[in-house]
Structures are given as C-alpha cells and as structure tokens.
C-alpha cells in the first residue's frame, strides 16, 4: 500500500510543463523518421533524428525536478 502511494506521488510530481514538450519532440522525431523511411528520403529521416537529443534532455530535466520534489517531501515528513 505504501509503495502504491509513493508511485502515485511520483507520477503526480513530474513536471508536466517540461515533460509535455519532451513527448511532443519524441513524437515529431518518430513521425519524421518514419516518413523519411517510407518516402525513401534519407535527409528527412536524418533531420528528424535531431529532435531526439532535445527530447532526451527535456525528459532528463523533468525527472531531475521530480527528484527534487521527492527529497523535499522526505525532509518535511522526517
């Protein structure tokens, strides 16, 4: 039961303002690569791969902010 509450807090604490653009960048990269492969256009496929590092960076920032919220909650409780 405690683990379930902890998981729910983590999901609620993720900074959606940073996570949403990360998801959008990942979707754009996936669609662009798929289109480039289907249309046999290597330049489009490789250009779409440029979105992957920005998506990874935004995911990392969101997760790092989530850890900060988690440690603040522990200090408040303990």
Query: Among all chains, which residue has been given the structure tokens 């250009």?
Result: 47
The tokens for 65 are 């902010």
Least trusted range by pLDDT, from 9-13, 22-26, 47-51: 9-13
Share of residues in the chain with pLDDT > 90 (%):
23
Residue 68 CA, chain-centre distance (Å), reads 16
Long-range pairs for 6-9: beta carbons < 8 A, 24 or more residues apart: 9/70, 9/73
The tokens for 63 are 């997760």
pLDDT at 4: 62
Asked if pLDDT for residue 68 goes beyond 70, the answer is no
Asked if pLDDT for residue 66 goes beyond 70, the answer is no
Asked if pLDDT for residue 27 goes beyond 70, the answer is yes
The pTM (predicted TM-score) of the whole model is: 0.60
Residue 30 CA, chain-centre distance (Å), reads 14
At how many degrees (to 10) do helices 51-77 and 16-38 cross? Answer: 160
């Amino acid at each position: 039961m405690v683990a379930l509450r902890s998981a729910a807090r983590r999901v609620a604490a993720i900074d959606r303002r940073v996570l949403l653009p990360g998801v959008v960048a990942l979707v754009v990269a996936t669609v662009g690569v798929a289109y480039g492969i289907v249309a046999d256009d290597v330049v489009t496929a490789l250009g779409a791969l440029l979105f992957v590092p920005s998506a990874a960076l935004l995911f990392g920032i969101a997760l790092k902010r989530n850890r900060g919220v988690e440690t603040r909650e522990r200090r408040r409780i303990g």
